[in-house]
Amino acid sequence: MSATRSPKVSERVAPKPADPQPKKKKRDDDDGPDFSTLLHAWIESHRASLLDSLRRLGKQPVGSFFTCLVMAVALSLPMGLSLLLNNVERLGGSWQRAAQISLYLNLDASTQQGEALRDEIKNMPGVADAEYVSRDQALEEFQQQSGLGEALKELPQNPLPGVVLVTPDEVDKPTLEALRQKLAQMPKVQQAQLDLVWVERLAAILKLGDRFVFGLTVLLVSALLLVIGNTIRLHIENRRTEIEVIKLVGGTDSYVRRPFLYMGALYGLGAGFLSWGVLAFGLDWLNDAVTGLAGLYGSDFALAGVPVADGLSLLLGAVLLGYIGAWIAVARHLRELAPK
């Protein structure tokens, strides 16, 4: 009887099959780290590269400062010329008067008609100001400027017409010509004269200035890239053995490149701040002489400082130039440092 019960006992004490859950957990572990872990590692790698670049620059403060100073000078020249051109363009009244339209009225036009015409022209679009010069005023000014006062007094009547001087809103040759033709058709206007030579000279001067600034910017940006490239090349040579070891143990090009890119960007950032300061100081220094000269002509013109938007653009451009220069230098030398 005991023999017949033994199989049932063995069935009751038989071990249960193993739980398959641990195997599933093992498969989950084989999938690798999750996204948050990878992101944290990426941020930590960039932070370490940035701190390493700051530490290496801090070990050579004098050399780093003079490198940034050379870059700042290269950045300040084209930016300073561009700011000076912008300040010159602020002399809107002077430029506009160089393109004034002179309306010569008929000899039979009275002073009241001339003043009414002046008021009508002032309200026209595209006109900044209008001034009426009567026949008597014109004759008096001509006598003073020509030195023929006694001879003009012998004339039986005043030969000079009344004039309306029209100052346009903007200096643009096609717009000015269209305005001149419109004014020439107004009543009591005998002739409408526009000195287009002054407009063309003004446009040529501004165009020449823009081209000169552009050419100088290209040359100095090229020199700036060379300065950055040469500086980064020296840092690479100083760390040649370290880089070769890193590549031998499996370090990627991006890992090796990252500290030098941060170094180039930091050089650019320092140069941008120095350039901003040099420009602000230079414009303030020139402003004393400019205000003194403008005061002799009865003007309150003064140079404007560096606008915040232009200063931020200067900083961003300097950082980008430093980054690009470092990238070019590192890409060139990484091929030479490949393990053999």
Q: Enumerate the domain spans of the chain.
A: 46-91+202-334, 100-194
Q: What is the average per-residue pLDDT within 263-288?
A: 90
Beta bridge partners of 189: 105
Short-list 218, 226, 232, 177, CA closest to 200: 177
pLDDT of residue 320: 92
Contacts for 191-197 with beta carbons within 8 Å, 24 or more apart? Answer: 191/103, 191/104, 192/101, 192/102, 192/103, 192/104, 193/101, 193/102, 193/103, 193/104, 194/99, 194/101, 194/102, 195/98, 195/99, 195/100
Q: What are the backbone dihedrals phi and psi of residue 98, each rounded to the nearest 5 degrees, phi first?
A: -70, -20
Strands 127-133 and 189-194: unpaired
Q: What are the backbone dihedrals phi and psi of residue 211, each rounded to the nearest 5 degrees, phi first?
A: -65, -40
Q: Is the pLDDT of residue 10 over 80?
A: no
Q: What is the pTM of this model?
A: 0.62
Condensed to tens digits (0 to 9), the pLDDT of residues 42-100 reads 788 788 888 888 888 888 888 889 888 988 988 888 888 888 877 776 665 455 556 78
Question: pLDDT class for 340, splitting at 50, 70, 90?
Answer: low
Condensed to tens digits (0 to 9), the pLDDT of residues 232-271 reads 888 888 877 777 787 777 777 778 888 888 988 999 999 9
pLDDT of residue 335: 67
CATH architecture of the domain with range 100-194: 2-Layer Sandwich (3.30)
Helix (H, G, I), strand (E, B) or coil at 54: helix
CA separation, residue 61 to residues 57, 58, 238, 325 (Å): 6, 5, 17, 21
pLDDT of residue 53: 82
pLDDT of residue 312: 92
315 against 126, higher pLDDT? 315
pLDDT of residue 316: 93
Short-list 307, 315, 264, 258, CA closest to 283: 307
In this predicted structure, which of 103-117, 254-268, 290-304 has the lowest mean pLDDT? 290-304
